[in-house]
């Protein structure tokens, strides 16, 4: 009798465990490198076909005021992975040398989700430190990990990793989008029976501007520069489509929370920024406003376009809420977007969003933005609802509003850690090029 009771109890417990796992959605983050805010067709982009990104917008929510807290690669990834401003650890610039890694005191999204029962995988660009095994993805909560340690073609060290092992070569590189799509699908196949978190971090559309022959052929009617860039964008979109097709094949799409975001604003002259000022390397809108879409079929109503400002810091708390995971034991700077995404609330509570890149900084509150995009520049007050291109300084008409935002900035900045290292590119493009007759100058951090 007692054995029968214990067996029944065990079966009930297992059933409850399986039910709890079934309630947890898979979580997929598509993170695109250096893509302009308006590049996808859903945002008005016309250079390259992006049907798979557009489908995520059509089946979910597209944000017109989506942001990254970093205007270059590594800082934005710190925010994505931790849900915390990268300035909390002085990580204002890119990695590449000892002492510039994501600090071991920080907790990654993978480390948050594993205790909640998730198998975790990263495929693609890491860019958070590779100087020692403890800084590599499988030491930071990822069960499966492969890709590039940083940007392709930069630095002299091995460019690729599998697990915690650095490797000199990756078959197919420098064209990595199709490689990553296959690896991501393999990860999904291997973990389809339990909740998983997949972070697909594409090298595209960062340099090098390379693409497969079939995609170059598709755009042969364009001039060479446009042909190569359009092919690069579309091949990245195809990789997203390949993963989405795998989710549908396994009947997992309805139980998967999907984010599609760019890590910062557009870098290439061909990137479509939709008329925004500046680009990568600047805290102008063109450097920090990014493609930002979310899909969860059956939970998030389809086809909505929201103007509410959101930031990549919101991904982690949203994922934790969707996963019914324990509350974070560390202070997060993002917020849970699920009530907004599901239509249970129309707006978020008012909050300032902060951006710092060394000597540059900005703060947005509602439609107002205070921006200082070079060391010499006097902070400029703009209203983004009437002036998204940031062309008119409204300081003289609104001195109290400028003072309010300046006070917000100073209080926030004082609570952060100063930049841990210097990047000579902080003050704009002119600082990235050595002056004639001056030699190569001081080398910037990669």
H or E element that contains 165: strand 165-167
- 16 CB-near residues (< 8 Å, 6+ apart): none
Pairing of strands 256-262, 304-306: unpaired
- The counts of H helices and E strands in the chain are 11, 16
Which among 317, 262, 334, 315 is positioned nearest to 292, based on CA atoms? Answer: 262
Residue-by-residue DSSP string for 237-287: HHHHHHHHHHHHHTT-GGGEEEEEEESSS--STTS--TT-S--TTSSSHHH
Angstrom distance (rounded) from CA 255 to CA 245: 14
H or E element that contains 161: strand 160-162
Catalytic residue among 112, 127, 206, 361: 127
Asked about 260 being catalytic, the answer comes back as no
Which 3 state secondary structure label does DSSP give 123? strand
**CA 207 to chain CA mean position, Å:** 17
Angstrom distance (rounded) from CA 217 to CA 230: 11
Catalytic residue among 73, 112, 185, 260: 73
Sheet-wide strand order for 360-365: 353-357, 360-365, 368-372, 380-383
Strands (DSSP E) found in 37-110: 61-63, 66-67
Two tokens, residue 113: 């989700």
315-322 vs 73-82: helix crossing angle, rounded to 10: 30
**Which backbone phi and psi does 50 adopt, to 5 degrees?**
-135, 60
Give the chain's radius of gyration (CA, Å): 22
How distant, in Å, are the alpha carbons of 19, 42, 145, 182, 238 from that of 189?
20, 29, 15, 10, 19
**Which backbone phi and psi does 389 adopt, to 5 degrees?**
-85, 0
- 44 CB-near residues (< 8 Å, 6+ apart): 38, 272, 274
Tokens 């990669």, residue?
A: 446
Asked about 71 being catalytic, the answer comes back as no
Angstrom distance (rounded) from CA 254 to CA 440: 54
**Residues carrying an active site annotation:** 73, 127
């Amino acid at each position: 009798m007692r054995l029968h009771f214990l067996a029944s109890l065990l079966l009930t417990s297992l059933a409850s465990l399986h039910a709890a796992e079934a309630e947890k959605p898979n979580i997929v983050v598509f993170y695109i490198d250096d893509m302009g805010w308006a590049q996808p067709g859903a945002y008005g982009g016309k250079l390259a076909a992006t049907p798979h990104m557009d489908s995520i917008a059509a089946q979910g929510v597209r944000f017109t005021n989506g942001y990254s807290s970093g205007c270059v690669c590594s800082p934005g990834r710190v925010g994505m992975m931790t849900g915390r401003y990268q300035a909390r650890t002085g990580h204002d610039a890119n990695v590449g040398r000892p002492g510039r890694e994501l600090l071991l005191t920080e907790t990654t999204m993978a480390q948050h989700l594993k205790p909640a029962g998730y198998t975790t995988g990263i495929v693609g660009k890491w860019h958070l430190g590779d100087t020692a095994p403890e800084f590599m993805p499988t030491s930071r909560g990822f069960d499966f990990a492969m890709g590039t340690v940083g940007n392709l073609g930069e630095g002299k060290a091995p460019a690729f990793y599998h697990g915690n092992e650095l490797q000199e070569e990756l078959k197919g590189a420098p064209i990595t989008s199709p490689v990553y799509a296959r690896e991501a699908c393999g990860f999904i196949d291997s973990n389809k029976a339990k909740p998983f978190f997949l972070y697909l971090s594409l090298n595209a559309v960062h340099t090098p501007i390379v693409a497969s022959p079939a995609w170059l052929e598709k755009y042969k009617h364009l001039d060479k520069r446009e042909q190569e860039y359009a092919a690069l964008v579309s091949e990245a979109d195809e990789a997203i489509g390949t993963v989405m097709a795998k989710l549908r094949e396994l009947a997992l799409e309805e139980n998967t929370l999907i984010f599609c975001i760019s890590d910062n604003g557009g870098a290439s002259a061909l990137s479509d920024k939709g008329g925004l000022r500046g680009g990568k390397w600047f805290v102008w809108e063109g450097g920090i406003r990014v493609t930002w879409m979310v899909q969860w079929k059956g939970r998030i109503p389809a086809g909505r376009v929201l103007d509410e400002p959101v930031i990549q810091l919101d991904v982690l708390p949203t994922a934790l809420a969707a996963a019914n995971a324990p509350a974070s034991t560390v202070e997060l700077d993002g917020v849970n977007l699920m009530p907004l995404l599901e239509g249970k609330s129309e707006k978020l509570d008012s909050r300032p969003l902060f951006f710092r890149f060394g000597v540059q900084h900005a703060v947005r509150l509602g439609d107002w933005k205070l921006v200082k995009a070079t060391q010499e520049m006097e902070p400029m007050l703009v209203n983004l609802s009437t002036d998204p291109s940031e062309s008119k300084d409204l300081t003289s008409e609104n001195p109290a509003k400028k003072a309010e935002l300046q006070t917000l900035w100073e209080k926030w900045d004082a609570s952060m850690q100063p930049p841990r290292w210097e990047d000579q590119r902080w003050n704009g493009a002119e600082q990235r090029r050595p002056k004639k007759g001056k030699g190569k100058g001081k080398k910037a951090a990669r």
